[in-house]
Chains A and B, each alone.
Chain A
């Protein structure tokens, strides 16, 4: 039995027709053309197959102003996909062998597949937030990993030297006393506690507003700063009352 495999490769816009002609000459079978609406234009995917190998060639960021060359002079059967892409995505495809001039599908709206639905917009914003939060988390983890490890408080070697040869009961007492002494010494030697964390946590705000449009980002920032200040004030008041 033949085996199946698939691959995705990038294709330059200007190579669309030459690539089709090359593939046809080499015996590749035309499979399809599809379009994907993105924030940077429309991606076109040309698929060809030979001996179970399915190659998907991706042309990125095609705009409505560009003129896409038709491949129907090489592969006539591509006229269906090309007319469909013209009608649904509004791309200008020149030289289609059977060109319906925008009447291939009976549509109520022009280029409906380029309309960004509220659901799609929400999904994209969510994806950006998730990516930003993930990046912030990774950065924090990396920072923590790079910080020097604190010296151990308990010096096990010194304890072992001290209790060697003692009976178990006494050894346990000596161990407990030494450990308590070492902990106390470590606490005294430790630097003074760092000043309280700043009232405004800039990293948290940046993670939250990443990917938002400037207007919305400013609103979110203002709200978060107000919330943080209020929380800090409440904490300070609580401490004051406690004293």
Chain B
């Protein structure tokens, strides 16, 4: 066996548009160890909670990450509502979940396009992003924004979706479902895709549990954990919800889980659209969180469980706001999945984990 060599990966890398650096310790083209490093885009956004009141900070929270924007504003709002004992109207809960699930669809389609591009399936990349554009069009019609939606506020939402718009959304989603199913079946049965992904970057169920993995990364190792299964908010009104899992534990399993989650999200949106209750979309929130009061919250972002924490100090400004993102939780698992792989498979493994470093560093 040859002498170990360290090969740097990132933070600028053609296959990964995220500022992640890895020191890959390589022997004979095999990765024997991996040391991750982040810290290139830390912006200190949590500190800004001291200079913005709890209503203003929601616009900072959703700017933590472009892909997870809706999720961060929702997670933050839910945490402050928990802190202040605010009960959100049922219709607002439904609207929030519909926009959040649409975000999941667009995030997974974006990821699938990047993954396809990484293993040279460029036409797949174009088709996935073409479908994603339709989701962004729905955002634009219903919120005015395509990426940063600014539609959630503490106490509810700022915009309603009327029945005509809801029917149009369902119609667009049905169109996406048809085309997407064709794309997905092509991807999951393609020999070249299987050659690049099956058996690559394996992580066992035991490792996933031991490393407290979250999101599709964990579910692809047969860990049935999805925050949505707690049935909070509008998720509680779903006739059935089951986390999508696979026991493969490899890159192919991770691709498959995410592919199926797109269809699951479309199902959730259509079911909630049919059950949408009438009523207000927000309640007035007055006062300030009590001094020393604290609340935590978890939310299923497209990449997995995200944890939120808030502490009040008796004024409109929070004493502390914190979020622990899914990628932060999955970094340890990533190093384990990379150990023993071929150097040529590193980019495939990292892409199927789908790290979001902007969220992680905040």
* Interface residues in chain A, defined as those with a beta carbon under 8 Å from any beta carbon in chain B: 1-4, 6, 8, 29-32, 34, 36-37, 45, 47, 49, 52, 54, 56, 75-77, 79-81, 98, 100, 103-107, 112-113, 117, 119-120, 123-124, 126-127, 130-131
Does B231 contact A1, Cβ atoms closer than 8 Å?
yes
Residues of A within 8 Å of B320, CB to CB, are 34, 36-37
Chain B residue total in the interface (Cβ 8 A): 48
**B51 (CB) vs chain A CBs: closest residue:** A119
Residues of A within 8 Å of B307, CB to CB, are 31-32, 47
B331 interface contact, C-beta 8 A: yes
For residue B209, give the distance in angstroms from its CB to the closest CB of chain A.
Answer: 8
Residues of A within 8 Å of B241, CB to CB, are 1
Q: How far is the CA of A127 from the CA of B291 in the complex (A)?
A: 8
Does B236 contact A1, Cβ atoms closer than 8 Å?
yes
Known: A103-B39, A105-B42, A119-B50. 19 other contacts (CB 8 A): A1-B231, A1-B241, A3-B231, A6-B295, A6-B297, A31-B307, A34-B309, A37-B320, A47-B307, A54-B296, A54-B298, A56-B309, A77-B211, A77-B331, A112-B47, A117-B50, A119-B317, A120-B50, A127-B315
For residue A153, give the distance in angstroms from its CB to the closest CB of chain B.
Answer: 41
Does A124 contact B296, Cβ atoms closer than 8 Å?
no
Residues of A within 8 Å of B329, CB to CB, are 31-32, 77, 80
Q: How far is the CA of A127 from the CA of B313 in the complex (A)?
A: 7
Say which residue of A80, A119, A120 sits within 8 Å of B328 (CB atoms): A80
**A121 (CB) vs chain B CBs: closest residue:** B50
* Interface residues in chain B, defined as those with a beta carbon under 8 Å from any beta carbon in chain A: 35-40, 42, 44, 46-47, 50-51, 209, 211-212, 225, 227, 229-232, 236, 241, 291, 294-298, 305, 307, 309, 311, 313-315, 317, 319-320, 322, 324, 328-329, 331-333, 360-361
Residues of B within 8 Å of A104, CB to CB, are 37-39
For residue B112, give the distance in angstroms from its CB to the closest CB of chain A.
Answer: 26
Q: How far is the CA of A112 from the CA of B44 in the complex (A)?
A: 9
Interface majority SS on B: helix, strand, loop or mixed? mixed
Q: How far is the CA of A49 from the CA of B297 in the complex (A)?
A: 12
Residues of B within 8 Å of A29, CB to CB, are 209, 212, 225
Does B361 contact A77, Cβ atoms closer than 8 Å?
no
Residues of B within 8 Å of A77, CB to CB, are 211-212, 329, 331-333
Does A123 contact B317, Cβ atoms closer than 8 Å?
yes
Q: How far is the CA of A160 from the CA of B99 in the complex (A)?
A: 72
Say which residue of A2, A123, A124 sits within 8 Å of B230 (CB atoms): A2
Residues of A within 8 Å of B360, CB to CB, are 80
Does B37 contact A127, Cβ atoms closer than 8 Å?
no
Does A34 contact B322, Cβ atoms closer than 8 Å?
yes
Does A105 contact B317, Cβ atoms closer than 8 Å?
no
Does B317 contact A79, Cβ atoms closer than 8 Å?
no
**Given A34-B324, A126-B315, residue A4 in contact with residue B38 (CB < 8 A):** no
Residues of B within 8 Å of A119, CB to CB, are 50-51, 317
Q: How far is the CA of A129 from the CA of B291 in the complex (A)?
A: 12
Residues of A within 8 Å of B317, CB to CB, are 119-120, 123
**B218 (CB) vs chain A CBs: closest residue:** A29
Residues of B within 8 Å of A47, CB to CB, are 296, 307
Q: How far is the CA of A164 from the CA of B279 in the complex (A)?
A: 60
**Given A1-B236, A31-B307, A32-B307, residue A131 in contact with residue B291 (CB < 8 A):** yes
Does B230 contact A3, Cβ atoms closer than 8 Å?
yes
Does A76 contact B39, Cβ atoms closer than 8 Å?
no
**B319 (CB) vs chain A CBs: closest residue:** A36
Does B315 contact A76, Cβ atoms closer than 8 Å?
no
Does B296 contact A56, Cβ atoms closer than 8 Å?
yes
Say which residue of A3, A31, A79, A105 sits within 8 Å of B212 (CB atoms): A31
For residue B255, give the distance in angstroms from its CB to the closest CB of chain A.
Answer: 23
**A84 (CB) vs chain B CBs: closest residue:** B328
Does B42 contact A107, Cβ atoms closer than 8 Å?
yes
Say which residue of B50, B212, B322 sits within 8 Å of A30 (CB atoms): B212
Residues of A within 8 Å of B35, CB to CB, are 98
Residues of B within 8 Å of A8, CB to CB, are 294, 296
For residue A128, give the distance in angstroms from its CB to the closest CB of chain B.
Answer: 8
Q: How far is the CA of A130 from the CA of B287 in the complex (A)?
A: 12
Does B315 contact A123, Cβ atoms closer than 8 Å?
yes
For residue B45, give the distance in angstroms from its CB to the closest CB of chain A.
Answer: 12
Q: How far is the CA of A90 from the CA of B181 in the complex (A)?
A: 51
**B228 (CB) vs chain A CBs: closest residue:** A1
